Chains A and B, each alone.
Chain A
Amino acid sequence: EAGVTQFPSHSVIEKGQTVTLRCDPISGHDNLYWYRRVMGKEIKFLLHFVKESKQDESGMPNNRFLAERTGGTYSTLKVQPAELEDSGVYFCASSRGSSGSTDTQYFGPGTRLTVL
């Protein structure tokens, strides 16, 4: 079974540019999550999809971040325009179940974003 994959692994952009990160979850996993780790800080939740619907987007920092999951398969996270404080590692995770009672999230390798 293939794991969660993310693309690109690294991205270096200038302030004001746009970047789109992609996540492919484990096949059959309805739940998809985005997290972010800013350097020196803890990993923080951004949002949660169940299939193509946003279940919880309480962690999205501001409206420069747009996440989509058209068709309920892969997801993209777009940052437009990027700011210096957006630098960090963006993790994607997926899980099978629709309930939080016994659900386990499996993480991708992350995308390291550097905004100059």
Chain B
Amino acid sequence: AQSVSQHNHHVILSEAASLELGCNYSYGGTVNLFWYVQYPGQHLQLLLKYFSGDPLVKGIKGFEAEFIKSKFSFNLRKPSVQWSDTAEYFCAVNPKAAGNKLTFGGGTRVLVKP
């Protein structure tokens, strides 16, 4: 069965620091890739997605992610975080041959200190 790994469970950093969250998946076929975010007290929101084309994807709030097929990775980055980026971040994979269901990573809690 496919799986999604997020290497960091918790990340603490200061405002203006750069953020990179790792995501690796274990499926060899064609995939759709997503990053979702859940701010405190709010529902899951889509940050960005990759279906095809340019492997560098830009999302909302200054986030971007790079799909590296050879490494089965889809890491999320933001050059300079703000306190408001405190949230839990989820990587999700949808193998195109497996219908619509998403397989999620375990989530990474990010705390940005002011």
Contacts and interface: CB of A to CB of B under 8 A. Distances in A.
B24 interface: no
Interface stretch (B13-21, B66-74, B92-100): B92-100
A45 B43 contact: no
A99 B6 CA distance: 27
Given A102-B51, A110-B43, A42 B105 contact: yes
Given A43-B90, A100-B32, A101-B96, A108 B43 contact: yes
Nearest to B43: A109
Contact of A107 (B36, B98, B99, B107): B36
A101 B51 contact: yes
Contacts of B101: 33, 45, 48, 56, 58-59
Nearest to A44: B104
User: Which bucket holds chain A's interface residue count?
Assistant: 20 to 34
B46 interface: yes
A19 B40 CA distance: 26
Interface in A46-88: 48, 55-56, 58-59
B43 A104 contact: no
B82 interface: no
B106 A91 contact: no
B40 to A, nearest CB: 12
Given A42-B106, A106-B46, A110-B43, A100 B51 contact: no
Interface of A: 3-4, 31, 33, 35, 41-45, 48, 55-56, 58-59, 91, 93, 95, 100-110
Interface of B: 4, 32, 34, 36, 42-46, 49, 51, 90, 92, 94, 96, 98-107
Given A35-B104, A42-B4, 11 more contacts: A42-B106, A43-B107, A48-B99, A56-B100, A56-B101, A100-B32, A100-B98, A103-B100, A107-B43, A110-B43, A110-B44
